[in-house]
A and B are shown apart, each in its own frame.
Chain A
């Protein structure tokens, strides 16, 4: 006979403001099988948990229902409390009367009734629960870090320094990411490369880090502690083992006019190239799409010149199989290019550039050695207009969110420009100045007060070119919307930060959720900011949302800490939510007819055939058998099974059927 305890949480006032918790508790006490029912202000608090533990012991409960917040939030908490009181944790269920009830409905009888209905549903479910033992799985203590920008570098170094193996996968020929392109960083104006390149070198030399550049994730299966990942290492056409990085090939390559990605198109590179002088690894790769040999079948100049014979035109993509226990996603962001902006000329004006291009102009290692010269004619611009929020916070452009970094880097750009061109005038069009952060507001104030950047609060409606000037037309909203026209020499757009191309397909490969803008979604916006919904996969940096360097680094270290925590265990316990094929005494053995439908639809190849033999070893029946180590508990086979021979622990046919009945029968 079931002896169920029901615990209704007020969640402070989060639930009790709209739900009459005492009444729900009173009604629940009248349900068949319920022997104890109570309500309390904070069920998840220590005294709240003690109430549950005491009730289990005192009333000899065989099942517990906690009606509180989402089970996605506190199911582990309450299950643990039950276990501590000697009740099998899988005999505890949660009814979600906060997210699915009190927060979304008005105060009233209907809401209280719904809270009771939900509670009753779980009471009926828990009556059909039975004790389960969690499954132990080993942990593979290797982490894969995807993306080698500052976040990926930080996460890799932290995990590797923690004594674990790291495989760092980078799409580009070099690690470094956007930070390697920056000139100086806010709010201290220290040189970006000076602080980043030592860390890049550290990655390359670290005994625990294996670096794969020009590589991407091909596929992933498995689960926390036991991921199987295929990495596609794209053909570089250069044998890394033989190449010494002397660079002779890059000086003699006849194709010299390819816009350099690193220089944001402000300078050219060759077809065999090292992206930038401090690249890690500092070995060239051939860009096959532009290489003369690959296009025409003739050339091979680099091969003839290479003193070590490292050029290999026949090299093919390589698929590397790796096993890992955890994955850190650090794929970063991209910025919109100027051609995204019709009103600013669809990208047709050479002197309308984006923020990263300005970084290259201001960088000592950039195409102008740090001199601010405009791209069209190389002249030093006397008036530069910076436009913040170009695309960001603009629902009409499909980007309603704030790109977060632009306020700060625009102030920095105005400052850098003024430091380099003393007689020049920087104008900044802005919506709001968002400078929240340590020493951030002081920094923007400095740009305005000390360096004399002219800040104009308003939007720029359009830009056109006339007589060698860019006419910037906007409004000054602090002066009642007065139209402003500036004849600028150069315009810098702080274009919106967006998710990387391909982040959606990567998320799908890794089964990670993402938001409408294809940024990866954290498991909880406040309490699980570096976890994803998929256990064992963590987030670092701007692949989650626009972030600046300190934030990206902090998130990376956070993700690394999570990985190291995970790796501190040799074994993981996994929820025993797995499918099972029923077994019966002979001569039936099982209702399974051996149709093998389940085998073909299981996404984890967790189902196999099992032969049942008689005493003479002859096969008398073939049925399905589920490997609990591989089964992830999706339950697809359960719904598919024609003879209803498979059931899912925790979501059995009986349980869900009783839930439906309980939910409907008032």
Chain B
């Protein structure tokens, strides 16, 4: 079945590894799905996971969080804090009934241009399969309206 749904995916990435990695994807002219748009952060440690929920309630169908590989953080330990927070947050989201398949948490280094394209493409096709995340917006709107 052809699926013409174009998902909106927001990528929260760190400046030093994944942003630079995505730059390398560009420099290497590796093509990927245009559904993903990047927001630059200094470090994954800066990413407040509440922003992910903000993204979902404002129309995102999927989210990518990506930074430096463990041990390679430009700021030594920001990515470890992000990972720890993610582990807790993910359980919480799951508990709350939020589809954690819509969040891709990964590491892409400044040298991994090809990996970035791969991450984007797999996420995009996964979200395409999952369809628009109306369920979440419906719930949040109901709460809003009641």
Contacts and interface: CB of A to CB of B under 8 A. Distances in A.
Interface stretch (A98-106, A421-429, A438-446, A621-629): A98-106
B58 A661 contact: yes
Contact of A603 (B6, B27, B75): B75
Contact of A103 (B16, B29, B42, B55): B29
A533 interface: yes
A665 B37 CA distance: 13
Given A111-B34, A633-B42, A640-B81, A72 B111 contact: no
B74 A511 contact: yes
A534 B19 CA distance: 15
A508 B17 CA distance: 13
Nearest to B55: A660
A525 B10 CA distance: 28
Interface string A266-298: 000000000000000000000000000000000
Interface string A66-84: 0000111100000000000
Contacts of B81: 601, 636, 639-640
Q: Of residues A508, A650, A664, A665, which shows the largest number of chain B Cβ atoms within 10 Å of its Cβ?
A: A664
Interface string A645-666: 0001011010011011101110
B1 interface: no
Interface string B10-45: 100001110110110111011110100111111101
Instruction: Give chain B's interface secondary structure class.
Output: loop
Contacts of A639: 45-49, 81-82, 85
Interface stretch (A327-335, A350-358, A480-488, A514-522): A514-522
Contacts of A659: 39
A665 B34 contact: no
Contacts of B55: 660, 664
Nearest to A70: B23
Interface in A131-147: none
Contact of A663 (B39, B42, B77): B39
A403 interface: no
A635 B43 contact: yes
A281 B38 CA distance: 53
Contacts of A71: 40
Contacts of B19: 70, 72
Contacts of A656: 39, 41, 48, 51
Contacts of A98: 26
A242 interface: no
A70 B26 contact: yes
B41 to A, nearest CB: 6
Interface in B33-91: 34, 37-43, 45-49, 51, 54-55, 58-60, 71-78, 81-82, 85
A511 B110 CA distance: 12
A296 to B, nearest CB: 39
Contacts of A508: 71-72
Interface residues of B, number: 52
Contacts of B29: 103-104
Given A99-B26, A121-B39, A660 B77 contact: no
A447 interface: no
Contacts of B16: 513, 533
A651 B45 CA distance: 12
Nearest to A513: B110
B117 interface: yes
A657 B8 CA distance: 16
A183 interface: no
B109 interface: yes
Contacts of A657: 51, 54
A638 B34 contact: no
Interface string A93-114: 0001011110111100011001
Contact of B109 (A104, A513, A534, A604): A513
Contact of B38 (A72, A96, A111, A632): A96
B27 A99 contact: yes
Contacts of A514: 72, 111
Given A104-B117, A513-B111, A663-B10, A636 B39 contact: no
A117 B37 contact: yes
A365 B59 CA distance: 73
A603 B78 CA distance: 8
A635 B8 contact: no
A103 B111 contact: no
A665 B72 CA distance: 34
Contacts of B48: 638-639, 653, 656
A136 to B, nearest CB: 21
Contact of A632 (B22, B75, B82): B75
A638 B46 contact: yes
A635 B45 contact: yes
Given A513-B72, A513-B110, A601-B81, A651 B26 contact: no
A588 B15 CA distance: 35
A515 B117 CA distance: 17
Contacts of A653: 48
B37 A515 contact: no
A660 B58 CA distance: 8
A640 B45 CA distance: 8
Contacts of A664: 8, 10, 55, 58-60
A521 B110 contact: yes
Nearest to B43: A634
A225 B13 CA distance: 28
A577 interface: yes
B75 A636 contact: yes
15 contacts: A72-B23, A99-B26, A100-B26, A103-B27, A110-B34, A121-B37, A508-B72, A511-B75, A601-B77, A634-B74, A635-B42, A638-B48, A639-B85, A660-B51, A663-B37
5 tightest A-B CB contacts, nearest first:
A635-B46, A99-B26, A636-B45, A634-B75, A103-B26
